[in-house]
Structure 1
């Protein structure tokens, strides 16, 4: 990810008012056993629509069965409630939803056995009545790589089953107009499971510098996917899209993120509605003009405004709670109907970055 301009402010009173830590140093305790300490929700507002319950650094700089647990770029909820966490180093971890402790790891690779720059994840689960017996995980994995870009379907044990078509313009130059490492970062299935949507992180050559494309596919017989509509989405200045997740009503939660050395990260959460947007698949250059209806978006929260909850940062940040947030999933609803949203940061296996999980409640 290229460096981006940060526009973020922090209210000092919020940081000073917090006294509890969700996951502090684990003296003489394995990092994966550090408890998740709940907080009272009063005063935990990030905005009028988003609050943060807690965070956890339980997996920061840990290993599982000799494999580094980090570089996490995507999250998904499995049928049994456990979490799937995708590393951009070709590893898929199965995590206990309560403790975050890894239970298994599957290595993913391309058709030649090479590692992926794996960024987006969907667990394509069958109807509950079709679950296999004996507790064997069912369904398949849809995984993006941002260097081609590509979307591959895998079995649960990591075998390639299929590869989805990609529009020529979204391929990395010189084959297309995209830039390597700035392509398919986000991936989600819309309600009903018939439509798959991938978000480009950054614009392609020829489009306006503030417009990215969201590509969709429609499910066909045999659980294959064919290319479908494409939409334009306007990003904030200096930011890109690392993740997107469909809400139960067909709208989207969209993360926008940026980074500036010496300043830190900007992370904003938007609610976006693609249902009345123009299909831009036949438009060569997106300029934001010419009657094109872009995806409508509404700011839910700038996460720099969240209370820090006692978090610490290993490098400058506008709020010590922030890091390189890259993964997101909706884990359910609370009793008031708010979405329970889980975020994770990608530490890039860097000593000054942190693998951190964030537990949000979102009124959409």
Structure 2
């Protein structure tokens, strides 16, 4: 009888604890709040003229930017392939103390040359550095598109912040390498973007347009199926890939025979796979720049799909996208915006977003820096769970 009573007590303990354990395990992936962007306001611009010199280098080609909150400075990578000076990044001061960005509010305060593993400058034409992100150690990751025509592969490397010397290289999956004319990244349409999650667990990059074996590059009124690539920084390995279709931008007045549209940058908002994406198009007469809220939640992992053209894409769930802001509707003449980063916190506690343009060292263009005020809300773990139960649209 005593043994039966003991067994009943243990059963009650198990029945009481088991639901708690299961609930705890169920919500293990919802341990921190996510960031919800509910709006964005344009709060000013500043311009650096083409030809601006700093420490014997020409400031230009700034195609990626990242914020160092501990030092209250920004690092901007130049995509100069060695024509003006060796591969390098600039340290910038951006003044938002008045709650807006004004002309004269962006000042270069440093320039650092990138050095290879042997401590030497990268040879001219061997890099096309486009993306930049800060590491947990206070160093930087830099992405390069390489050069398909010269059989130079893209890379993602870590460099020390102080000396600019190469520390390590992240392996690039074989399907991204331009090993033939039928596969890999397209020239100048590779790893433009780079961002690291706040917990420094994941790094994201993306192709600016489709891999050759995945589909067409962007054309007027035609989308391009890009891939977002997720690295686990604990293992330094690429572990997931997601389909990101660009918007189909129309061609407008055809002043010159040139059209470009793609995904030049991403910024991670939280540790739950919420990002902002930047899509920029040159449609024949001026630039189109749009910001989208992006969620990886529920998106199909396509890392084991070598070619999207060889599979039924209807069975693939792409990332979820929602338009946040069309900068073409703001009172600003847009240039070739290619980089974005979360910036300093504004006086009202909301984060800023900084965008920067690549002037291509063209006298008809300029280095344009734009500032936005983001309106944010925190989404609780339980609320995120119940939102998962409601179907979401990709539109």
TM-score, with structure 1 as normaliser: 0.75
**In 1, Cα distance between equivalents of 2:136 and 2:94:** 18
Distance 1:173 1:305, change over 3 A: farther
Deviation per CA, 1:115-145, whole angstroms, max 9, x where unpaired? 421101011133xxxxxxxxxxxx2211000
How far 1:338 sits from its partner (Å)?
A: 4.2
Larger-gyration structure (1/2): 2
- Determine if contact 1:242/1:257 at 8 Å carries over to the other structure: yes
- Determine if contact 2:75/2:89 at 8 Å carries over to the other structure: yes
Q: Residue 120 of structure 1 aligns with which residue?
A: 131
**In 2, Cα distance between equivalents of 1:228 and 1:282:** 10
- Determine if contact 1:196/1:218 at 8 Å carries over to the other structure: yes
**1:145 counterpart = 2:144:** yes
**1:182 counterpart = 2:182:** no
Q: Residue 270 of structure 1 aligns with which residue?
A: 292
**1:280 counterpart = 2:280:** no
**In 1, Cα distance between equivalents of 2:187 and 2:366:** 24
**In 2, Cα distance between equivalents of 1:270 and 1:333:** 21
* Structure with more helix by fraction: 2
SS at match of 1:80: coil
> Which residue among 347, 350, 363 is the counterpart of 1:351?
363
**1:169 counterpart = 2:155:** no
**1:212 counterpart = 2:219:** no
How far 1:302 sits from its partner (Å)?
A: 1.4
How far 1:60 sits from its partner (Å)?
A: 4.4
Q: Which runs of 5+ in 1 are unaligned?
A: 1-47, 127-138, 309-320
**In 2, Cα distance between equivalents of 1:334 and 1:96:** 15
- Determine if contact 2:50/2:363 at 8 Å carries over to the other structure: no
> Which residue among 300, 324, 328 is the counterpart of 1:304?
328
**Mapping of 1:335-346 within 5 angstroms?**
338-346=350-358
Moved more, 295-304 or 326-335: 326-335
> Which residue among 87, 96, 110 is the counterpart of 2:78?
87
How far 1:336 sits from its partner (Å)?
A: 5.5
**Mapping of 1:1-364 within 5 angstroms?**
49-58=39-48, 60-78=50-68, 79-89=70-80, 90-98=87-95, 99-110=105-116, 113-115=122-124, 116-126=127-137, 139-147=138-146, 148-156=153-161, 157-174=163-180, 176-209=183-216, 210-220=224-234, 225-238=236-249, 239-248=261-270, 250=272, 251-261=274-284, 263-286=285-308, 289-308=313-332, 321-334=333-346, 338-363=350-375
Size of the alignment, in residue pairs?
Answer: 289
TM-score, with structure 2 as normaliser: 0.69
Deviation per CA, 1:173-216, whole angstroms, max 9, x where unpaired? 42842112111000001231111111110101121332100111
Name the Cα RMSD after superposition: 2.0
**In 2, Cα distance between equivalents of 1:357 and 1:53:** 11
**In 2, Cα distance between equivalents of 1:337 and 1:264:** 34
**In 2, Cα distance between equivalents of 1:86 and 1:101:** 15
- Determine if contact 1:60/1:70 at 8 Å carries over to the other structure: yes
Moved more, 68-77 or 96-105: 96-105
**In 1, Cα distance between equivalents of 2:53 and 2:243:** 40
**In 2, Cα distance between equivalents of 1:266 and 1:51:** 17
Q: Which runs of 5+ in 2 are unaligned?
A: 1-37, 81-86, 96-104, 147-152, 217-223, 250-260, 377-395
- Determine if contact 1:59/1:100 at 8 Å carries over to the other structure: no
